[in-house]
Structure 1
Amino acid sequence: TAPHLRHARTTDEGGRGLFIVAQLAQTWGARYSADGKTIWTEQALERAPR
């Protein structure tokens, strides 16, 4: 199934991972294959100090 964001309740034992990743990423998505799915993200890189 397609991943979806949800707010986990304090009594939930799971369901927080994708929400946390989405908060840190600029964008995210899913790719599907015969073996399952892969969640990908894009994050901005900081410039290295000179």
Structure 2
Amino acid sequence: GLHQTGIPDEIQPGLNARFMGIDEKAIISYLVSAYFSVAVLVPDALGILEDVEIGH
């Protein structure tokens, strides 16, 4: 796929993990994001997901 490189806190191309903090129980939280680019070859070929949660 097409991966964006050079993003802040990058772990590998297109993937970053940003430290979010430590709570009162000493649990560390990170925000992990994956970035992709697309090459659109036909009209109406893209979709978007909003407010998606994959786990707690």
Higher helix share: 1
Bigger relative contact order (CA 8 A; separation at least 6): 2
* TM surpasses 0.5: no
Higher strand share: 2
Q: Which has the larger radius of gyration?
A: 2
TM-score (normalizing by structure 1):
0.30
